[in-house]
C-alpha cells in the first residue's frame, strides 16, 4: 500500500483534477488504485461515480473505524468496467464537513490512518483528494499518507500557499503525527506556456522549490474539463487534446510511483 495525499491551502487549483487524472493513468497502467474523497464538496465522488453517494461514506469510516464500515463504504468505479485492474472509491459527502476542525486533537488526526490500516493493503496506490484548507481533514489525510503532493497554479500567491502546505507536512512528520510522510513535490497546474506571467511564476517556483517542482507541469486544456463533464477517464477521452493530457498524467504517475523507491 502506498498512500498519496493531494492537497493545497487554496481552492480551485486542481486537486480533484490531478487526483482523477492520476486515477485514470493508474487504471490504464494496471495499477490497482483506491481514491478517497475527503472533501465535503465531494467532487471526486461525482467525477468517479457520476452521482453523489447516498450510502456509507468516508465520514462514517472516520467516525467508526470498523472493518465492516470500510467494506460497506468502498465501491468499484464504473471507469474500471472491462479493465484488468481495479479502481475503487471511498466516497465523500457534505457529512465530512463536521470533522474538519481547525484545531484537531492528535487522536482525531490519527483516525483515518487507523481505519485505512485495516483495509487498504490490496491497493498499489491510494490517492486522497483533500478539501481546500490545511485543517483537520487534510491533516487526517497526511497522517495516513506516505507522500504529500501539493497542487498549485503559477500565480503570485502560489509561493506562500505551497510553502505553508509543505511546512505542514514537515511539522506533522516531526511531531510523529504522520510517521511515514515524505514530501513528493509540487504539481504546477493550469500552466499557459504562452503567458509571460506564467513563465515568470514557474521560473520563480523552480528557483524557490528546486526539484520539488515536478515534471511534467500540467497545462490548461479544455479537454480536461470536457472529460470531467462527461464523467469519462482521460484515457478514454477522444478530443484533440486527449493524447497530450494522457501523456502528462502518465508521466506524473511515473513520478509518483518512482518516489516510492526513495523512502
Ligand atoms: N489543467 C487544467 N486545464 C483546464 N481546466 C482545469 C485544469 N485543472 C483544473 N481545471 C478546472 O478548474 C476547476 C477547478 O479544478 P478542481 O476542481 O480540480 O480544483 P480543486 O483544487 O479540486 O478545487 P477545490 O479546492 O474546490 O476542491 C475545474 O472546473 C477543473 O475542470
Ligand atoms: Mg477538489
User: Is the pLDDT confidence value at 143 over 80?
Assistant: yes
- Ligand 1 atom at minimum distance from 151 CA: 21
**pLDDT over 80 (residue 231):** yes
pLDDT-based confidence at residue 263 (cuts at 50, 70, 90): low
Q: Whose CA is nearest to atom 3 of ligand 1?
A: 220
What is the pLDDT confidence band of residue 55, given thresholds at 50, 70 and 90?
A: very high
Average pLDDT over residues 181-201: 97
pLDDT of residue 262: 72
pLDDT the model gives residue 98: 96
CATH number of the domain that residue 130 is part of: 3.40.50.300
Residue 54 has a pLDDT of 87
Which strand (E) or helix (H) includes residue 140? Answer: helix 136-143
| Domain carrying residue 128 | 3-261
Which of the listed residues 11, 14, 40, 96 should we mutate to test ligand 1's pocket, taking the one with most ligand atoms within 8 A of CB? 14
Candidate of 17, 149, 202 to mutate for ligand 1, largest count of ligand atoms within 8 Å of Cβ: 17
Pocket of ligand 1 (CB under 6 A): 11-17, 39, 41, 43, 132, 189-190, 218, 220-221, 224-225, 228
pTM over 0.75: yes
SS3 of 58-125: the string is: HHHHHHCCCHHHHHHHCEECHHHCCCCCCEEEECCCHHHHHHCCCCCCHHHHCHHHHHHHCCCCCCCE
Query: Structurally, how many domains does the chain consist of?
Result: 1
Ligand 2 centroid, distance to 17 Cα (angstroms): 7
Rounded distance between C-alpha atoms, residue 81 and residue 87, angstroms: 9
Name the pLDDT band for 65 (thresholds 50, 70, 90): confident
Q: Which residue has the CA at smallest separation from atom 29 of ligand 1?
A: 225
Amino acid at each position: 500500500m502506498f498512500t498519496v495525499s493531494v492537497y493545497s491551502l487554496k481552492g480551485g487549483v486542481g486537486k480533484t483534477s490531478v487526483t482523477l487524472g492520476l486515477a485514470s493513468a493508474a487504471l490504464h497502467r494496471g495499477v490497482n488504485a483506491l481514491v478517497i474523497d475527503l472533501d465535503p464538496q465531494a467532487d471526486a465522488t461525482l467525477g468517479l461515480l457520476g452521482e453523489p453517494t447516498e450510502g456509507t461514506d468516508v465520514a462514517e469510516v472516520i467516525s467508526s473505524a470498523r472493518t465492516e464500515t470500510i467494506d460497506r463504504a468502498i465501491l468499484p468505479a464504473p471507469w474500471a468496467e472491462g479493465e484488468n485492474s481495479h479502481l475503487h472509491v471511498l466516497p465523500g459527502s457534505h457529512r465530512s464537513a463536521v470533522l474538519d476542525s481547525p484545531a484537531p486533537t492528535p487522536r482525531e488526526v490519527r483516525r483515518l490512518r487507523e481505519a485505512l490500516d485495516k483495509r487498504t493493503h490490496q491497493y498499489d496506490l491510494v490517492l486522497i483528494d483533500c478539501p481546500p484548507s490545511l485543517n483537520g481533514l487534510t491533516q487526517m489525510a497526511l497522517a495516513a499518507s506516505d507522500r504529500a503532493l501539493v497542487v498549485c497554479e503559477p500565480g503570485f500567491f502560489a509561493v506562500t500557499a505551497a510553502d505553508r502546505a509543505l511546512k505542514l507536512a514537515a511539522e506533522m512528520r516531526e511531531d510523529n503525527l504522520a510517521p511515514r510522510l515524505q514530501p513528493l513535490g509540487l504539481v504546477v497546474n493550469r500552466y499557459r506556456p504562452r503567458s509571460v506571467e506564467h513563465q515568470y511564476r514557474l521560473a520563480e517556483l523552480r528557483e524557490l522549490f528546486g526539484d520539488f517542482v515536478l515534471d511534467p507541469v500540467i497545462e490548461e486544456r479544455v479537454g480536461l474539463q470536457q472529460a470531467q463533464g462527461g464523467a469519462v477517464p482521460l484515457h478514454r477521452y477522444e478530443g484533440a487534446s486527449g493524447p497530450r493530457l494522457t501523456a502528462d498524467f502518465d508521466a506524473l504517475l511515473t513520478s509518483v510511483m518512482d518516489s516510492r523507491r526513495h523512502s
